[in-house]
Structure 1
Amino acid sequence: MLGNYKNILVPVDGSKEAKLAFDKAVIIAKESKAGIHMVHVIDTRSFQNISSFDSSMIDEATANVKKTLDDYLDQANQAGVSNIDYSIEYGAPKVVIAREMPDRYHTDVIIMGATGLSAFERLMMGSVTDYVSKAAKCDVLIVRTDTNNQPVNKAK
């Protein structure tokens, strides 16, 4: 069944949960010879409320994200996955991940963490993962365990 996936989308935001999802995506991609497209969505809505906003804030955020994505890319290559790339997008993460990216990259499955970094967004607008699981036209694998399918100790 998992062997049928050819195009995996993995949203990453720097959280522990996103790293777990990435690790599982690498394993699935290796086993099914699928490609991975990683995406990080910089939520530009958070910059709209800053009165002293200037474009250097987005440039700095983009540079930090690029480093994380490059590290993930290296890890996947070392694990034997060569069909992997990434993009940095700007906008509302839930819409970009659920609606825009799957069409653009012909995604078969989105593999993402159960939660991410933004507690504020979960509180005010609902979880990105929850929205994606309901709105995406493709399968969504929500990762809650490590690569050995063991629960992750959250109390640290």
Structure 2
Amino acid sequence: MAQQYKHILVPVDGSEEAELAFKKAVAVANRNGEDTELRLLHVVDTRAFQNISSFDSSMVEQVTETAKKTLDKYIEYAKNNGVKNVSYSIEYGAPKTIIARDVPKEMNADLIMIGATGLNAVERILIGSVTEFVTRTAICDVLVVRTDLKQAN
């Protein structure tokens, strides 16, 4: 019998790769039954604001509002495509640990579907890839999405 995933986490950051992962996650959730939970996650990396001397809370609020608009569209897409149990959360902090450990533990995730990001070699050396970290340290299965639904067939 094929593996059944009932608690799927999809980190989204507004990138094309994250959208591909999200759309594939909708398809996987539908294949695994209507009781499958699909949770979208956006992490606001608060470290990005630490070095800004004129930092104020309105910057974080603007990022959060933009994320909410994107996530609301994703929720609508998922529901229009048959996923009944879909939600999202916005977290603040270090994306790597929040995606790999904190939220999967809290929601009892059995699968993380994450986009393969396009960091260049220098960025990977300096800051490390979130996707790479998640694949190494996640507390559940991880599927790295590189293709869209049409290319997968």
Using the size of structure 2 for normalisation, the TM-score is 0.92
For residues 34-53 of structure 1, the aligned pairs below 5 Å read: 34-53=36-55
Deviations along 1:94-142, whole A, 9 cap, x unmatched? 11000101100000000010106x6685352110000000000100000
Q: 1:70 to 1:123 in 2, by over 3 A?
A: farther
Amino acid at match of 2:56: D
Aligned length: 150
Which range moves more in the overlay, 90-99 or 119-128?
119-128
1:55 to 44, 54, 57: 57
Partner residue of 1:154?
none
For residues 10-21 of structure 1, the aligned pairs below 5 Å read: 10-21=10-21
Q: 1:55 to 1:2 in 2, by over 3 A?
A: farther
Using the size of structure 1 for normalisation, the TM-score is 0.90
Partner residue of 1:68?
70
Q: Secondary structure at the match of 1:102?
A: helix
Amino acid at match of 2:22: F
% identical aligned pairs? 55
Structure 1 gaps, min length 5: 152-156
Partner residue of 2:146?
144
Deviations along 1:34-80, whole A, 9 cap, x unmatched? 21000000000000000000000000100000000000000000001
Matched residues in 2 for 1:3 and 1:74: separation?
A: 27
Partner residue of 2:29?
29
Q: Aligned-pair distance for 1:2?
A: 5.4
Amino acid at match of 1:82: K
Matched residues in 2 for 1:94 and 1:56: separation?
A: 24
Q: CA RMSD in A?
A: 1.8
Q: Aligned-pair distance for 1:149?
A: 3.3
- The answer on 1:86 being equivalent to 2:88 is yes
CA contact (8 A) 1:2 1:32 kept: no
